[in-house]
Chains A and B, each alone.
Chain A
Amino acid sequence: MGKAGKERLIKAGLYLAYAVVTLFFLFPIFWVLSTSLKSVPQLFATPPIWFPLDPRFENYAYVFTNTPIVRYLFNSALIVLLTVVFTLLVSVPAAYGFSRYTFRYKKPTLMMVLVFQMISPVVISIPLYRMFVELGLLNNYAGLVVAYSAVVLPFTTWFLKGYFDTIPYEMDEAAIVDGASRWQAFWRILLPVCAPGIATAAILVAILSWSQFVIPFILLDDAALYPVSIGLVNLQSNADAITLHYLSAASIVAIAPVIGVFVLLQRYIVNALTSGAVKG
């Protein structure tokens, strides 16, 4: 086999791998979408119906009119907004400090932040619950936002520190020589320059927080406060009714905002994520 033939084979293999991985990740979403448009008899048909020829859009209408999904979506949006604001308020100055200052135990501190990143919310859920009970923070958005932020802060701090590192320190020094205080150099020079990175961090925090399940499941039992990730649980089938099609429709409604945000902003997000990597 010649060189060209070998290259073609390698390329074909790569594309096959892409296809397999893509199918692996997209198939569940496709199946949920398909299920959301089926009637009850079609749900458990054998052989399975891949996509109904007569899609039942009324399933979506049912979800909007007969379930509090709008309320859940609003709750999710509010929680995510508060989480983004609180996370940025903490992580931006933290990242600035890590990037611009030299202090004792800086490296070990950064390592600790990275280590905390590896801890899954599932692992801390029980102790978190007990602590929040003591603090009286159950069924409370303040407590929820603090818990959400704690989960995303390590990643956000690391990401923003990397972004701040790409800004030459001479820019801070130029501002200081020009007469700016440290705060003015941060507020008037560094923040505007880092706005794209901060915006990307905000989007990533929003996407991560929207799909959060374990923490609100542990800390909320007032249905009026449920975000959409918990609200969906109530739509599961039980002995009285098969609601798989409604659950699927509600799931699509729940993930639509996140998909929409990512599709609209993917180039921006990928650029911001990879530019930090290239500049190191």
Chain B
Amino acid sequence: MAGVVMEEVTKVYGEDVVAVRDMSLDIQDGEFAVFVGPSGCGKSTALRMIAGLEDITSGKVYIDNRLVNDLPPRDRDIAMVFQNYALYPHMNVRDNLGFALKIRKVDRSEIKRRVEEAARLLSIEELLDRKPKALSGGQRQRVALGRAIVREPNVFLMDEPLSNLDAKLRVHMRTEIRKLHNRTGTTNIYVTHDQTEAMTMADRVVVLREGIVQQVASPQEMYERPTNVFVAGFIGSPAMNFIRARMEKHNRSLDIVFGDTTIPLPRERHWKELDGYVNGEVMLGIRPEHMQDARLVENMQGSATLDVKPQVVESVGHEKYLYFELPEGLTARTRSIEEIEADTGRNEEGSGDMLVARVSPEAKVRESEEVKLVVDTGKVHLFDLETEKAIF
């Protein structure tokens, strides 16, 4: 078992295509780290540099305190699970699992022991004599995991291993992989574009965008304290709502104002740092789940409210999504927000600047009928309009 350290690792393709820029990271021994980000953000490239499948343009990678820049993959003591499993179609499951050990001339009895143990761990004992084409997607996935487990490596590297599975199987396999990690305690670096996978599986999440690390934090911290608009919008589903607002000082309170809505900022947060934003514009971030139908809220004292007319109401059983628009000009649009929306498919061309509220299933809301929403003022976020960095 070992930690992985990346020191200002950069990858450049050709003359000027920077896939990863100055990535520095310290993954602890036994940690489950998840690299997440939209397509093309450099997460797979970073993983492949750790694996040794891509050259490192500059910077250093250490595995178990050993500099591995010039070591071939076979000498890095890593095992990798690929997106399309990459099982050897001409070998049965037993031979697939044992291939790496056979190549390394491990004793036959030891190969047999490890293969059977991995098969038992993954419940694939009765599949050992089958070929990959006779397996389902989930079974192939488990064989791919088994092939990594038998190696007993220092680090597991997984490149979107669940992408090719259906939604239900993906949820099941997520827990299986996490259970496996808890059992083996091996350092795991997992790449995904799915923020739900990242949040449910990771000890720490690494968000990447255009080759640059945006934030490294535990899922909860990333959810509660995103460092910038991109992370705030990428983490959480549905994505955070972003509104252009003004910061105003009234007596002793700092308020965020947009349209007819005034949101008083909680006193206990850092007000001194906000001095420069008073009477200026800021970007307000409100997560859909931090808005509720006012009719279902008992004590409204001190709350901020927002009157909306949902254009679409979606009921998913345990909650409802209300899609509404704000008066023109209030919905914030930046490059980060457009990138997130492009990645999630939200606000596709022609659908306008829709915001989302996630309310209780008991909320009696109908399309085109006005509803008053209560905003949890303790959970709002503020960002600098220019730099998109979090200021509150």
Q: Contact residues of A with B, CB < 8 Å? A: 168, 170-171, 173-181, 184, 189, 192-193, 195
Contacts and interface: CB of A to CB of B under 8 A. Distances in A.
A173 B53 contact: yes
B84 A170 contact: yes
Nearest to A192: B90
Contacts of B167: none
Given A184-B103, A193-B89, A193-B90, A177 B84 contact: no
Pick the 5 closest A-B CB pairs, nearest first: A178-B100, A174-B86, A170-B86, A179-B74, A192-B90
Contact of A173 (B86, B88, B104, B147): B86
B212 to A, nearest CB: 26
A180 B104 CA distance: 8
Contacts of A181: 74
Interface of B: 51-53, 72-74, 78-80, 82-84, 86-90, 99-100, 103-104, 147, 151
Q: Which of B83, B86, B100 has the largest count of A CB atoms less than 10 A from its CB? A: B86
Contacts of B89: 193
A168 B85 CA distance: 10
Given A170-B82, A184-B103, A178 B147 contact: yes
A179 B78 contact: no
A180 B83 CA distance: 20
**Secondary structure of the A side of the interface?**
helix
A177 B54 CA distance: 12
A20 B100 CA distance: 57
Contacts of B53: 173, 176-177
A174 B74 CA distance: 10
B81 to A, nearest CB: 9
A177 B104 contact: no
Contacts of B73: 176-177
Contacts of A184: 103
Contacts of A171: 86, 88
Contacts of A192: 90
A42 B106 CA distance: 76
Given A173-B82, A179-B74, A189 B88 contact: yes
A168 B84 contact: yes
A255 B87 CA distance: 43
A176 B54 CA distance: 12
Contact of A179 (B86, B88, B103): B103
A258 to B, nearest CB: 30
B121 to A, nearest CB: 19
29 contacts: A168-B84, A170-B82, A170-B86, A171-B86, A171-B88, A173-B80, A173-B86, A174-B80, A174-B82, A174-B87, A175-B88, A176-B53, A176-B73, A176-B74, A177-B52, A177-B74, A178-B74, A178-B100, A178-B103, A178-B151, A179-B74, A179-B103, A180-B74, A180-B103, A181-B74, A184-B103, A189-B88, A193-B88, A195-B90
Q: Which of B84, B99, B151 has the largest count of A CB atoms less than 10 A from its CB? A: B99
Given A174-B80, A178-B147, A168 B103 contact: no
Contact of B78 (A173, A175, A177, A180): A177
B392 to A, nearest CB: 45
A177 B79 contact: yes
Nearest to A173: B53
Contacts of B103: 178-180, 184
Given A170-B82, A184-B103, A177 B88 contact: no
A170 B90 CA distance: 15
Contacts of A195: 90
Contacts of A173: 53, 80, 82, 86
Nearest to B99: A178
Given A173-B53, A193-B89, A193-B90, A179 B84 contact: no
Q: Which of B52, B82, B83, B147 has the largest count of A CB atoms less than 10 A from its CB? A: B82
A175 to B, nearest CB: 8
A119 B86 CA distance: 40
Given A170-B83, A170-B86, A176-B74, 11 more contacts: A177-B51, A177-B52, A178-B74, A178-B103, A178-B147, A178-B151, A179-B104, A181-B74, A193-B88, A193-B89, A193-B90
Q: Which of A168, A173, A177, A184 has the largest count of B CB atoms less than 10 A from its CB? A: A177
Nearest to B103: A179
Contacts of B99: 175, 178
A192 B92 CA distance: 13
A38 B83 CA distance: 66
